[in-house]
Amino acid sequence: MDPDKLKQFRRQTIEKASRAGLPAYFIDECSGDGVIRVKPDGAMERIVIQQGRPEIRPFACRAC
């Protein structure tokens, strides 16, 4: 998949979800660990499963 098209798709999806007052969710292709949640206020979090339970972590991806 074209990385530029993926970034554009994510940006558009985040904008649409934000306008609707909903969070946007993406699989984290960068580290392959968890799902990224973008809240309507722009805050980003990583959701991972640890011992069968969801764990919310701050999103910090230096590789992307």
Asked whether the beta carbons of 9 and 19 are under 8 A apart, the reply is no
Asked whether the beta carbons of 47 and 37 are under 8 A apart, the reply is yes
Q: How many domains does the chain have?
A: 1
Range of the domain at 27: 3-58
Strand-pair partners of 44 = 38
Q: Which residue has the higher pLDDT, 36 or 61?
A: 36
The reply to whether 12 falls in a domain is: yes
The reply to whether 37 falls in a domain is: yes
The reply to whether 64 falls in a domain is: no
The reply to whether 63 falls in a domain is: no
pTM of full prediction above 0.85 = no
The reply to whether 46 falls in a domain is: yes
Q: Which segments within 1-64 are labelled E, that is strand?
A: 24-27, 35-38, 44-50, 53-58
The reply to whether 43 falls in a domain is: yes
> Residues 5-59: pLDDT tens digits?
888 998 999 999 999 999 999 887 776 778 999 999 999 999 999 999 999 988 8
The reply to whether 48 falls in a domain is: yes
